[in-house]
Amino acid sequence: MNRLLARQLKLYLAWADESAVEAMLQAVDLAAADIGDPPVAMLLGNFRRLLLAIDESYQLFDRDVALGSRSLQISSDELTKANNTLRQEVLARQRAIDALWETANRLQASLGRPALGKESAGLEQLSVLMGSLLSERQQAEAALLQQEVQFRALVGNIPGVVFRGQIDYPRGMHYINDEIEVLTGYASESFLLPHVVHSYGALVFQEDQALLEKTVNMALTQQDRYSVEYRILHISGAVRWVLERGQIVRNVAHQPEYLDGIVFDITDQKQAAIQLRQLSAAIEANPVPVLITDVQGEIEYLNPRFEQTFGFSLAEIRGETPNVLLPLEADLLAYQEIWQSLSCGDEWRRDIRHRCKSGQLIWMSVSVSPIRDVGGKVTHFVAVYDNIELRKAAEEVLIKAKEASDQANQLKSDFLANMSHEIRTPMNAIIGMTHLALKTDLNKQQRDYLTKTSSTAESLLHILNDILDFSKIEANRLQMEQLPFRLESVLEKLASLHILKAEEKGLQLHIELAADCDFSLLGDSLRIGQILNNLVGNAIKFTPEGEVRVQVTLLEALDQRVHLQIAVNDTGIGLTEAQIAQLFKPFSQADSSTTRQFGGTGLGLSICKCLVELMEGRVWVESALGQGSTFYISLWLMRSAEHISPDRVSGPVQRLDGVRILLVEDNVLNQQVAYELLSGVGANVMIARHGGEALGWLSIDPLPCDLILMDLQMPVVDGHQATKLIRSDSRFDSLAIIAMTAHAMSDERQRCLDLGMSDYITKPIQPNELFATVAKWVGKSICPQQIKSEPVLIRPVNESALPQLPGINTQEVLQRLGGNIELARHLFQQFYQDYQQGAESFQLLLKTDCKGAERWVHSIKGVAGILGMHELIQVAEPLERQLYLYPGDAGDTFSAFEKVLNHMLDVVGHGYIPPAKLQKELRLDTEKVGLLIKQLSDLLADFDGDSVDVYYRLREQLEGWVELAVLDRLGESINAFDFDKAIKNLALLEKKL
């Protein structure tokens, strides 16, 4: 730096030396970059160049002064030399300025600016311009770098291989993204020029290289763009299908330079296409008809077999629904069920008759499934048809054969039942009269005759019972019940039956139940008792002296199953090996002398063996002649979740004195059972026949009840609807509502609780459970002074007080009704009266009220539970389930239900013929009924709301004389104010009368 300039900077700016000057200039440069004001920033940015220009001027001035001083002293030669030197320096400076000017113009051109003129070629101007151009160039480079980052991010997100490469084989790459490693297994760097490690062209299948080159060459000569599919080889040896789409890049001279393009992996699509072609070929060649529709059910495709089978071409029924193939209304309803099922995403299968184009009807088994896209959305439905004409014909033959067989069995059973009835009637007279005669004054000979007559008559009755049981077993009509029981109760009855006979022969009878067998079981206690009665009776019969011992032991317990062994041991005459081999065969005894000495048919042990095997158990005997016998029974039984108390003593009786209960139940029989049970323990019971009447009771202020027992399935307003309405009123928040229904499923229980019900009990009603549940919710309403908790002796149920009804567990009925024989008789009579026309009522409901039909079956299932009709429950459950799934279609379940219902009605009818007095009391007041019908008809014609009251008065008169379903339909239409429908229902009711 010039010394004068340095002194001035030190004097005015305190810059001590050149290092200080340099430091300050760097600070000025940094400040220029941070200042937002452009003029100030330009001033500071050019300050260094200004200072350099000033320094250069100072030095030039010093040289000029020195030169002037010396010119006076030097010679002319020296002056000439100095001038030449100065001229050279000036030329060198001008060249430097020219070079700087050319550089500035190149920068201007790179930034898209016009070239500078010579007038702008000053050193100072060029220095300032160069600083500005360099700054702009840096900014442009930064922007370019940012664009490159964005470009690489964009390319990285493209699901394919992006490249720029050579046009000719082997196609070295100027650029290729990292997706190439996913596609080929080789790193992207190995494909880049100039040092190519792996040639992309070498990976292309040799068979496909010609196609690739041909496609690129066509692009060179035509539109520059191209698309081609070919195969490449992965590093693992796997073959990958790819789709390459690219474009020829040309220079300004329109000469081809590069290939730019994208390569997509289409291996999965190719495989899917192959599978689709295979599937399409399979459907086309399928030997059964196939149909495909859209989600609206409109036909889009038929395979050739479909056209051959039905005669319709695709052109004829495209856009139609499959309903075009259905001839009958019932089958149309079946197809409507398809969409209900398929809308839930389920498959659907059913046998339906179809109509061909020719009008021919054929049976088809149809299977319909949804077709989903990758997202799981249903896009189409496919239906597959299987011709089942031969199967249906075979089924019809089998059905007829089965009906013939059933009819034959029924005739046999009816004959045996009638024979039993005809024989039992005089046998009862013989036994009874003999018993009465033995109580009179007789001489020794007469007493001997009558005693032998009585014994013979009882033996004959026993033989008759064995023959009937054996015939049932032979016809496979003997059913094992699954009811809770206690072995203790079975053994107590066994002892009471045989203790006197044992004492008469001087024998000791011991019955032992192991301590670890004190639990409730699930099974047929009556049949187990029958087996033990036979074995113990035989043991007493064939034992002249000593003892008979019955022992029950627990062999094994697994989860809810127990393995029991029952042993019946005697000290009797014993058996040989040959006798044991014949022992369990029908009509066989030890030998002919046994029959002569002891009597019997030889059926008892055969029946025992069959009964044990029906319970999936085993029976066998161990014996030696003259040393007695031991009969063993091995049974696996389920433990019952329900605790059954012993028959002898119950716990404290739960009284409900003072409790006010609103019973909401439409079935008269169920009403009476609940009313009798509850009133018997002190409760005050009000009855509502449906939810609408219950709401009427609740409108009374103050509230007339402490608790509601709510049936679920009722006409007019059912239990669910009534509960919703009750819970919508905050006044009834604390009112307990207990559901009563024949549904025992956990989901139904949860539904009741979700609706706001407080608790849930199942039908048939168990008295103790009912009392305990009511007390649980209204314990504070029970009058304390009236609660009785002393143990009560429960008398054994006298089954003989009721007629013996085949297929009905009368013991269970009496236990459920607390031994109330009169109530039991009345309930059986009510059942006979209400359901005598049950099949016809059901068929009518099926046509007019699908929900009512389901409700009717549900109601009769509950009644059957109360009356011990377990076989009726078993056939009602599948019928109810069928009606729930397919409303209005009873399917194949109704025939079995109707058969059992009619059998139960026949059994009850034979056992309970209403007495003349009852017939007199049940006489219909036809005059009053006629007046009420006339009054109701007039009110309905006038659309008068008073028709509701008249309807209920009419219903009271007709209950028991007209099917409840007919009365319910009339009530529903009136309560819904559908007076036109009510008039039609009233006319139907008059026809019934």
Percent of the chain past pLDDT 90, that is, above it, reads 13
Question: Taking 70 as the threshold, does the pLDDT of residue 328 lie above it?
Answer: no
As a whole number, mean pLDDT of residues 686-691 equals 84
Q: In which order are the strands placed within the sheet that holds 299-302?
A: 299-302, 290-294, 378-387, 361-372, 348-355
As a whole number, mean pLDDT of residues 397-425 equals 70
Contacts of 398 (CB under 8 A, 6+ apart): none
Compute the mean pLDDT over every residue in the chain, rounded to the nearest whole number.
79
Q: Are strands 256-265 and 239-250 parallel, antiparallel or unpaired?
A: antiparallel
Tokens 């009269």 locate to 433
Q: What is the H or E stretch that residue 112 is in?
A: none
Lowest-pLDDT range, 408-422, 709-723, 961-975? 408-422
Q: pLDDT higher for 428 or 423? A: 423
- The pLDDT value recorded for residue 923 is 60
Helix/strand/coil (H/E/C) assignment for every residue in 814-870: HHHCCCCHHHHHHHHHHHHHHCCCHHHHHHHHHHHCHHHHHHHHHHHHHHHHHCCCH
Query: Which amino acid makes up residue 167?
Result: I
How would you class 713 by CB atoms within 10 Å of its CB: exposed for 0-12, middle for 13-18, buried for 19 or more?
buried
- The pLDDT value recorded for residue 435 is 63
Same CATH fold, 660-778 and 157-271?
no
- The pLDDT value recorded for residue 124 is 65
Angle at 850 between CA 845 and CA 853, to 5 degrees: 50
The span from the CA of 505 to the CA of 545, in Å, is 7
Does residue 248 contact residue 224 with C-beta atoms inside 8 Å? yes
Closest of 818, 687, 829, 707 to residue 765, by C-alpha: 818
Torsion angles phi and psi, residue 359, rounded to 5: 95, -10
The span from the CA of 742 to the CA of 854, in Å, is 13
> Fold for domain 660-778?
Rossmann fold (3.40.50)
The span from the CA of 422 to the CA of 429, in Å, is 12
The span from the CA of 197 to the CA of 190, in Å, is 5
- The pLDDT value recorded for residue 746 is 44
**Distances in Å between the alpha carbon of 772 and those of 444, 703, 738, 764?**
59, 23, 12, 15
Question: Taking 70 as the threshold, does the pLDDT of residue 894 lie above it?
Answer: yes
- The pLDDT value recorded for residue 427 is 67
Does residue 770 contact residue 762 with C-beta atoms inside 8 Å? no
The span from the CA of 657 to the CA of 677, in Å, is 13
Highest mean pLDDT, choosing among 534-538, 667-671, 954-958: 534-538
The span from the CA of 928 to the CA of 993, in Å, is 13
- The pLDDT value recorded for residue 799 is 47
Tokens 């009233």 locate to 986
- The pLDDT value recorded for residue 566 is 95
What is the value of pTM for the model shown? 0.31
Contacts of 145 (CB under 8 A, 6+ apart): none
Q: Are strands 629-639 and 520-523 parallel, antiparallel or unpaired?
A: antiparallel
Does residue 230 contact residue 244 with C-beta atoms inside 8 Å? yes
Closest of 549, 554, 563 to residue 637, by C-alpha: 563
To the question of domain 157-271 being in CATH 1.10.150.650, the answer is no
Closest of 353, 351, 360 to residue 311, by C-alpha: 360
Q: Over the stretch 348-389, which tens digit does the pLDDT of each residue have?
A: 788 888 889 888 888 988 888 888 887 888 888 888 999 888
Query: Which amino acid makes up residue 835?
Result: Y
What tokens appear for 340 in the block? Answer: 């209900």
* pLDDT tier for residue 794 given thresholds of 50, 70 and 90: very low
The span from the CA of 511 to the CA of 492, in Å, is 9
The span from the CA of 240 to the CA of 262, in Å, is 15
The span from the CA of 691 to the CA of 665, in Å, is 9
Q: Over the stretch 588-634, which tens digit does the pLDDT of each residue have?
A: 554 544 444 444 445 678 888 888 888 889 999 999 888 899 999 99
Contacts of 41 (CB under 8 A, 6+ apart): 32, 33, 35
The span from the CA of 410 to the CA of 422, in Å, is 18
The span from the CA of 710 to the CA of 686, in Å, is 12
As a whole number, mean pLDDT of residues 792-805 equals 51
Domain locations in the chain as residue ranges: 9-54, 82-134, 157-271, 483-639, 660-778, 810-912, 926-992
- The pLDDT value recorded for residue 439 is 66
* pLDDT tier for residue 565 given thresholds of 50, 70 and 90: very high
What tokens appear for 401 in the block? Answer: 């054969």
* pLDDT tier for residue 473 given thresholds of 50, 70 and 90: low
Highest mean pLDDT, choosing among 181-190, 589-598, 686-695: 181-190
What tokens appear for 377 in the block? Answer: 């959305």
- Contacts of the segment 739-747: beta carbons below 8 A, 24+ positions apart: 739/710, 739/712, 740/665, 740/674, 740/709, 740/710, 740/711, 740/712, 740/765, 741/711, 741/712, 741/713, 741/858, 741/862, 742/858, 742/861, 742/862, 742/865, 743/712, 743/858
The span from the CA of 303 to the CA of 317, in Å, is 13
First to last CA, the chain: 136
- The pLDDT value recorded for residue 709 is 94
Q: Are strands 684-688 and 508-513 parallel, antiparallel or unpaired?
A: unpaired
Does residue 600 contact residue 534 with C-beta atoms inside 8 Å? no
The span from the CA of 541 to the CA of 536, in Å, is 8
Q: What is the H or E stretch that residue 247 is in?
A: strand 239-250
Closest of 669, 906, 670, 675 to residue 808, by C-alpha: 906
Query: Which amino acid makes up residue 712?
Result: L
* pLDDT tier for residue 567 given thresholds of 50, 70 and 90: very high
Tokens 């639990």 locate to 519
What tokens appear for 800 in the block? Answer: 């003989």
Q: pLDDT higher for 487 or 156? A: 487
Does residue 140 contact residue 111 with C-beta atoms inside 8 Å? yes
Largest CA distance in the chain: 198
Could you tell me how far CA 792 lies from the centroid of its own chain? 47
The span from the CA of 479 to the CA of 466, in Å, is 16
Contacts of 405 (CB under 8 A, 6+ apart): none
Name the CATH code of domain 483-639 (choices 3.30.479.10, 3.30.565.10, 3.10.330.20, 3.30.930.10).
3.30.565.10
Length of the chain: 993
As a whole number, mean pLDDT of residues 626-654 equals 74
